[in-house]
Amino acid sequence: MLMSQPEETMTRQSRSSRRPVAIPADEAERNRLLAEMAEQSTDMISRHTPGEWRFIYASPAVTHLLGYSVEEIIGMSAYELYHPDDVEDFKRRSPSVSYERGLYTHTYRFRCRDGHYTWLESTSRSIRDPDTDELLEILVVSRDVSRRVEAEQASQRLARVLEYSSDLVAFATPDHRITQLNEAARQALGLELTDHQPLRLQDLFAADSYGLLQSQGLPVAKEEGRWRGEAEMFSRSQQRMIPVMLEVLAHRSLGGQLEYFSTVARDMTAVKQAEAEKLQYQLEIDHASRLITMGEMATGLAHEVNQPLTAVVNYVRGIQRRLDMGADTPLSEIAQPLERIGSTALRAGDIVHRMMDFTRKTEPCRELLDLAPLVDELISFCQHSAGRHQVQLSNRLPDNLPPVLADRIQLEQILLNLILNGIEACSDGDESDRQVWLDASLDKSDQVIIRVLDQGRGLPVSDPEQLFGQFFTTKTDGLGMGLAISRTLTERHGGQLQAANRPEGGAVFSFNLSTG
């Protein structure tokens, strides 16, 4: 409501209106004119004594604005109603009132009748005696600006949140001129927004990402209000790309005109790095686990490779004997052993290649795979281990299975773990009844359920979940990682690996794969 204002904050209007205001000679007439104006106005018009700023007059709007009746407020000093935090401020400025005339505007908190404070904006004019220049009274027009002040405070709070947010925030005009960058953006991108160094949207982003913004991000945000996608920003200070999750918002004026775009970018460097490390770690684990599986099979495989090599040596010896018998040995007699040497050596080579394939470090790659031939190959690969334990291995897959979507090496690893476990579980059973077989079926949701069944001793624990814990083993030389890894691999394929006892004895391990 009040009135004081230092010289430097006075409005242009106030500076140009230093002429003393003519005061109607008749006090009653002046009040009548004011009352008539005040009657029409939702703003409160009041008059105050100099010094204590007591109300001499208040228009009826005082009741709407402050809850007081006109009678109640007359005689009260405005100082009584000021918010304590604003009083000092006002007093500090008040001396200027005695020296200045004209209009000044002031925003402050004033106490209402019910005790709460409301924000008022007052424009005041000091009224002086034209002859003596004596300050006679202050004429004030006040309006409730609580909503505006609250909105300003809310947007100041938001601006602070944006400024100190860890997300990289930028504002740009529809023609891509940057008008604001928050601290995180300035720091991360190594950019400063200055008058002599204008920035454009393309200065913030990698070329590809700016292209994506132009073709998709901005048009979609313009159309639908927002767009979300992945992008890369360029950091000049770190000379590197920053991967970000980007949100683009379009801001419109009340008339619906596009005024600004804002881009809010979340730095994903750490997340991407963690993902890459996790993938690398998984690759290492996969690789290590394949080496372990291969190690477990090493004796058998050595034997498998040794067999063809021995055969090759025998063929060679046979040929040598024939050649030793005389120069007239017909070539036709050594043609067949030579051919066998070739094919046997190739078989040995195949085994070695499969081992190398299986233990090679590879990036996972999903493809549609026919299960039957894959299972046949695995069975022949495990034949030696099965033979050692006198276990019969068989493929009982139905003919009409659709191909499954899987990474070949990982699927082989799961099956190999399960088959070898099955063989071991049978190894101390009745010799005539040691069987491990593979079976599969298509379920209602078009998933192929693959099962590895055995006639072994059954699960060693009542809760099958325990078997999938890392390092759980009942074997003296076991590592207890096979099932844990197999479960991770099936989950990576969107499937689930489970174990159960078969009612007929033995165990069944099953998992599902999608058919693509």
Task: Please give the residue ranges that form the binding site for ligand ADP (CB under 6 A).
Answer: 417, 421-422, 425, 454, 456, 459-460, 467, 472-475, 478-484, 507
CB 234 within 8 A of CB 241: yes
d(CA 383, CA 436): 11
Least CB distance to ligand ADP at residue 503 (A) = 15
> Taking every pair of C-alpha atoms in the chain, what is the biggest distance, in angstroms?
154
Least CB distance to ligand ADP at residue 413 (A) = 11
Least CB distance to ligand ADP at residue 384 (A) = 18
Helix (H, G, I), strand (E, B) or coil at 121: strand
Nearer to ligand ADP, 310 or 496 (CB): 496
d(CA 186, CA 192): 6
Nearer to ligand ADP, 229 or 460 (CB): 460
Pairing assessment for the beta strands 103-111 and 117-128 based on DSSP bridges: antiparallel
Nearer to ligand ADP, 75 or 458 (CB): 458
Least CB distance to ligand ADP at residue 514 (A) = 24
Sequence-ordered list of residues with C-beta below 8 angstroms from that of 90, at least 6 positions apart, any chain: 2, 4, 79, 82, 106, 108
Nearer to ligand ADP, 337 or 478 (CB): 478
Least CB distance to ligand ADP at residue 460 (A) = 4
Specify the DSSP element, H or E, that contains 265. strand 258-267
The CA-atom distances, in angstroms, between 5 and each of 1, 85, 99, 457 are 12, 17, 10, 96
Nearer to ligand ADP, 201 or 467 (CB): 467
Nearer to ligand ADP, 139 or 508 (CB): 508
d(CA 347, CA 339): 12
**DSSP 8-state assignment for residue 314:** H
Pairing assessment for the beta strands 392-395 and 435-442 based on DSSP bridges: parallel
Nearer to ligand ADP, 310 or 470 (CB): 470
Residue number, nearest CB to ligand ADP? 482
Least CB distance to ligand ADP at residue 436 (A) = 8
Task: Output the six-digit token pair for 225.
Answer: 């209000």
Angle between helical axes of 298-325 and 269-296 (0-180°, round to 10): 50
Least CB distance to ligand ADP at residue 245 (A) = 38
